[in-house]
Amino acid sequence: MLNRDLLMFRLNKGRIKPSFVDLQNRSLHNLARDLIQLCDKNIGQSRQYIEELIEEKTSRSRRKKISKGLAKLVLDRCEFGEPKPNVLENRLELFSQSAKIFRKVKVDDSIEEYRLRIQEHLSQSLDSVEEGLFADLKSRRSLKEFKGMSPEELLHRYNLAQVQGLILYAERVELTIEEPDIVKVRNLLRWLRFCRLVANISKSEVTWKITVDGPGSILSMQKKYGLQLAQFFAVVPNLEKYHVEAVVRLPRKPVASLSIDSTSGLCSHHKNFGRGHVPEEISVIAEKFESSLWELSTQPEPLSLMYDQICVPDFRFIHSDTGEVVFIELFHRWHRSALTKRLDMFDSVTEQNLVLGLDKALVSDSHVADIVEKNDQIFVFNSFPSLSKLAKVLKGFE
């Protein structure tokens, strides 16, 4: 992410337009390459040293703001190590010695005389002692790992970060998706939940409109959701046809609207986003499920439920005669907190044929067991629901 002072944009007639770098620009390509190589080649050097090299490189650039932005993104990919051993112990020992010497100084002693007396108690020169005195400070830590990337990737990250940097100052994001790949929408909505945001979703046959903001945004709460919105936006460029609108309130700038779409050329670094992984167990069920009455889909559309909940069901069954639709959402033993939230609101979602399947391990909780006992739209399975278990559930809707 880029700080506000590194953002490049144009403000005109209430619209704000990020200034993207040209991915084909030779000199920027070279600068990106140099910055990446600089970190790559200086594994083991101190942060201060690396920052000085970067400063030297960027200060010579004619496009200082861009080069500082690229440098920030490169530094974000650096992992700095732990300090050398015994720095703290040596420092404490030195302070303990100097305290004893200080207690004995005379009123007319100069700083130099005091320092000389300390030197007498040391096995090394004062200069080298000073050099290592705070070697454990952040600026002195050495570069342990650099998560490398290509110059193109860095320039793509820069352009994306320009938009994210503006979205940090947005109150909400309105996303329109045309003819979406349902696997990607499922993943997008999962990501939205991960970002702890609220979405209002409406959809026509080919268009999804998703308004994203935070739960407290209507209450003048001091909580800002900009960071979460910016984090959410990072995956949006994975969609084929999208359009984003956001109202941006930069400090000491007029309010402006931001408009970005799939023609902007942005590229997400969340590479695995679009690959809808279908667990093996679900593939097996899809393969072996045989019914003349029910048609099965293992990649159903997400459901928008009451109280801003979004449900990403694992199965959708459609009855071939009546057209009745039944969704099944599975909760495994690692879904305990998600289950708590779903059960909390379950009374309000039963208007849809949503059935919950719970791993036996989750029912050990007496509160959950009580709800399962009283509710015929919840069933329990052991590790994974069998075909016969699913058939029994569907029987209830025939």
Partner 1 sequence: MSSKVPTIKYDRGTLLLTNIDDEFANTLHGVQFDDRINAYRAQARHYRDIVMALHQSGRQYMDKAKDFSPVRLSLKKNISPFPHQKEALSKWEENGKRGIIELPTGAGKTVLSVLAIASVQRPTLVVVPTIDLLLQWERVLSDHFNIDIGVYGGGRHEKATITVTTYDSAAHNAEFWGRNFGFLICDECHHLPATAYQFIAEALVAPFRLGVTATLERNDGGEFVCEELLGSLNFSLPIDALEGKYLAPYEVRRVPVELTAKEREEYDSSRKTYLNFLRSTGVSFNRPDGWANFIMICQRSAEGKRALEAYRTQRKIAFSSKSKTDALWNILKSHRNDRVIVFTEDNETVYRLSHQLFFPVITHHTKVKERKHLLSLFAKGELPVLLTSKVLNEGVDVPDANVGVVLSGSGSVREHVQRLGRILRKRPGKEAILYEVYAAESSEMNTSERRRQHRAYYGKE
Give me the residues that bind partner 1 (CB under 8 A), please: 88, 91-92, 94-96, 98-99, 102-103, 105-107, 109-111, 114-115, 118, 130, 133-134, 137-138, 196, 198, 200, 211, 214-216, 218-219, 221-223, 251-252, 306-308, 344, 346-348, 350, 371, 374-375
- 227 versus 387: smaller Cβ distance to partner 1: 227
- Least distance between partner 1 and beta carbon 16 (Å): 17
- Least distance between partner 1 and beta carbon 341 (Å): 9
State the amino acid at position 278 in one-letter form.
V
- 141 versus 186: smaller Cβ distance to partner 1: 141
- Least distance between partner 1 and beta carbon 251 (Å): 8
Nearest-5° Cα angle at 327, 359 to 352? 115
- Least distance between partner 1 and beta carbon 200 (Å): 5
DSSP code, position 382: S
Tokens 């909940």 correspond to 309
- Least distance between partner 1 and beta carbon 198 (Å): 6
- 278 versus 306: smaller Cβ distance to partner 1: 306
Q: How many CB atoms lie under 10 A from the CB of residue 253?
A: 13
- 95 versus 334: smaller Cβ distance to partner 1: 95
- Rounded CA separation 287/280 (Å): 10
DSSP code, position 320: T
- Least distance between partner 1 and beta carbon 320 (Å): 31
- 194 versus 307: smaller Cβ distance to partner 1: 307
- Least distance between partner 1 and beta carbon 28 (Å): 22
Cβ proximity of 260 and 244 under 8 Å: yes
Tell which residue, 172, 160, 166, 174, has the closest CA to residue 244: 174
- Least distance between partner 1 and beta carbon 276 (Å): 27
The token duo for 99 is: 């305290």
Cβ proximity of 32 and 155 under 8 Å: yes
- 82 versus 321: smaller Cβ distance to partner 1: 82
- Least distance between partner 1 and beta carbon 270 (Å): 23
- Rounded CA separation 352/309 (Å): 13
String of DSSP letters for 8-48? -EEEETTEEEE-PPPTT-HHHHHHHHHHHHHHHHTTTSBHH
- 283 versus 348: smaller Cβ distance to partner 1: 348
How many residues are listed for the chain in this entry? 398
Determine whether 260 is exposed, middle or buried from the number of CB atoms within 10 Å of its CB (0-12, 13-18, 19+).
Answer: buried
- Least distance between partner 1 and beta carbon 246 (Å): 17
Q: How many CB atoms lie under 10 A from the CB of residue 322?
A: 10
The token duo for 239 is: 């969609």
- 216 versus 279: smaller Cβ distance to partner 1: 216
- 257 versus 350: smaller Cβ distance to partner 1: 350
Q: In the sheet that 15-18 helps form, which strands lie side by side, from edge to edge?
A: 9-12, 15-18, 256-261, 242-248, 170-178, 207-213, 198-203
- 126 versus 387: smaller Cβ distance to partner 1: 126
Residues 361-380, buried b or exposed e (16+ Cβ, 10 A)?
ebbeeeebeebbeeeeebbb
